[in-house]
Structure 1
Amino acid sequence: MKTAAPPTRSSGRDSRPVLLCLSHLRWDFVFQRPQHLMTRAARDHEVIFFEEPLERDVEVPRLELSAETGGVTRAIPILPRGTDAVAAQRALLDDLLEERAGRRLVAWFYTPMALAFADDLRPDVTVYDCMDELSAFRGAPPAMLDMERRLLERADLVFTGGRSLYEAKRDRHPRVSCFPSSIDTAHFARARGGMAEPESMAGIARPRMGFFGVIDERMDLGLVAGLAALRPDLQLVMLGPVVKIDPASLPQAPNLHWLGGRRYDELPAYLAHWDLGFMPFALNESTRFISPTKTPEFLAAGLPVVSTPVVDVVRDYGEAGLVEVVSSAAEMAEQADRLLRAASPAWLARVDAQLATNSWDLTWTRMAALIRGQRVTQPAAFPGAGAVPATTLAAGAPHV
Structure 2
Amino acid sequence: MGPAKRGRLPLRILPFAVPLRPLVVLSHLRWDFVYQRPQHVLSRLAATRPVFVIEEPVHSEGEPHWERQRPASGVTVLRPHTPLHEGGFTDGQLQAMRPLVDELAREVGACDVWVYTPLAVSLIDALDAQTVVYDCMDELSAFDHAPPQLLEREQLLLDRADLVFTGGPSLYRAKKDRHADVHCFTSSVDAAHFGQARPEAPALDEPEDQRALPHPRLGFFGVIDERLDANLVGALAEAHPEWQIVMVGPVVKIDPATLPQAANIHWLGGRTYDELPPYLAGWDVCLLPFARNRSTEFISPTKTLEYMAAERPIVSTPITDVAEPYGDIVYLGDTPEAFIQACEAALKASPKQREANVADMRAVLAKTSWDTTARRMAVLLDGTSCGAASGDAPDASSSHPAAALTPEASGAAR
Q: Does 1:365 align with 2:372?
A: no
Q: Does 1:336 align with 2:343?
A: yes
Alignment partner, residue 394 of structure 1: none
Partner Cα distance (2:152, 2:127) in 1 = 19
TM-score scaled to structure 2, two decimals? Answer: 0.84
Q: Tell me which amino acid in the other structure corresponds to 1:338.
A: A
Alignment partner, residue 25 of structure 1: 29
Following superposition, the deviation at residue 116 of structure 1 comes to 3.4
Partner Cα distance (1:212, 1:65) in 2 = 29
Following superposition, the deviation at residue 74 of structure 1 comes to 0.7
Partner Cα distance (1:32, 1:80) in 2 = 30
Partner Cα distance (1:216, 1:41) in 2 = 30
Alignment partner, residue 80 of structure 1: 83
Partner Cα distance (2:385, 2:32) in 1 = 33
Structure 1 runs not aligned, ≥5 long: 1-14, 379-400
Q: Does 1:39 align with 2:43?
A: yes
Q: Tell me which amino acid in the other structure corresponds to 2:94.
A: V
Partner Cα distance (2:371, 2:216) in 1 = 34
Following superposition, the deviation at residue 105 of structure 1 comes to 1.1
Inter-CA distance 82–315: structure 2 relative to 1 (3 Å threshold): closer
Q: How many residues align?
A: 359
Following superposition, the deviation at residue 81 of structure 1 comes to 3.3
Alignment partner, residue 98 of structure 2: 90
Q: Tell me which amino acid in the other structure corresponds to 1:239.
A: V
Alignment partner, residue 239 of structure 1: 248
Q: Tell me which amino acid in the other structure corresponds to 2:53.
A: F
**SS of 1:374 mapped into structure 2:** helix
Inter-CA distance 377–52: structure 2 relative to 1 (3 Å threshold): farther
Q: Tell me which amino acid in the other structure corresponds to 2:250.
A: P
Q: CA offsets, 1:48-70, max 9 Å, x none?
A: 110000012x2111011111134
Following superposition, the deviation at residue 117 of structure 1 comes to 3.2
Q: Does 1:66 align with 2:74?
A: no
Partner Cα distance (1:81, 1:333) in 2 = 48
Asked if the contact 1:90/1:118 (under 8 Å) is kept, the reply is no
Asked if the contact 2:333/2:341 (under 8 Å) is kept, the reply is no
Q: Does 1:145 align with 2:151?
A: yes
Asked if the contact 2:113/2:133 (under 8 Å) is kept, the reply is yes
Following superposition, the deviation at residue 96 of structure 1 comes to 1.2
Q: Tell me which amino acid in the other structure corresponds to 2:134.
A: Y
CA RMSD of aligned residues (A): 1.5
Following superposition, the deviation at residue 354 of structure 1 comes to 1.0
Alignment partner, residue 291 of structure 2: 282
Alignment partner, residue 304 of structure 1: 313
Partner Cα distance (2:157, 2:55) in 1 = 18
Asked if the contact 2:315/2:346 (under 8 Å) is kept, the reply is no
Q: Does 1:189 align with 2:205?
A: no
Partner Cα distance (1:120, 1:377) in 2 = 23
Match of 2:364 among 347, 350, 354: 354
**SS of 2:312 mapped into structure 1:** coil
Partner Cα distance (1:146, 1:357) in 2 = 37
Asked if the contact 2:119/2:153 (under 8 Å) is kept, the reply is yes
TM-score scaled to structure 1, two decimals? Answer: 0.87
**SS of 1:191 mapped into structure 2:** coil
Following superposition, the deviation at residue 292 of structure 1 comes to 0.3
Alignment partner, residue 391 of structure 1: none
Q: CA offsets, 1:66-92, max 9 Å, x none?
A: 111343111000111369422221110
Q: Does 1:324 align with 2:331?
A: yes
Following superposition, the deviation at residue 377 of structure 1 comes to 9.2
Alignment of 1:126-205 (within 5 A): 126-192=132-198, 193=201, 194-205=203-214
**SS of 2:108 mapped into structure 1:** coil
Asked if the contact 2:223/2:250 (under 8 Å) is kept, the reply is yes
Partner Cα distance (1:376, 1:191) in 2 = 42
Partner Cα distance (1:335, 1:137) in 2 = 28
Following superposition, the deviation at residue 376 of structure 1 comes to 5.4
Asked if the contact 1:230/1:330 (under 8 Å) is kept, the reply is no
Q: CA offsets, 1:177-197, max 9 Å, x none?
A: 000111110110011111111
Asked if the contact 2:331/2:346 (under 8 Å) is kept, the reply is no
Following superposition, the deviation at residue 334 of structure 1 comes to 1.7
Q: Tell me which amino acid in the other structure corresponds to 2:163.
A: L
Partner Cα distance (2:225, 2:178) in 1 = 29
Following superposition, the deviation at residue 100 of structure 1 comes to 2.0
Match of 2:265 among 253, 256, 264: 256
Alignment partner, residue 387 of structure 1: none
**SS of 2:100 mapped into structure 1:** helix
Alignment of 1:101-112 (within 5 A): 101=109, 104-112=110-118
Asked if the contact 2:220/2:288 (under 8 Å) is kept, the reply is yes
Asked if the contact 1:87/1:117 (under 8 Å) is kept, the reply is no
Q: Which moves more between the two structures, 16-25 or 31-40?
A: 16-25
Q: Does 1:225 align with 2:234?
A: yes
Q: CA offsets, 1:315-364, max 9 Å, x none?
A: 1111xx11111112222222222221224112111110110001110001
Following superposition, the deviation at residue 34 of structure 1 comes to 0.4
User: After the TM superposition, which segments of 4 or more aligned residues of structure 1 sit over 4 Å from their partners?
Assistant: 375-378
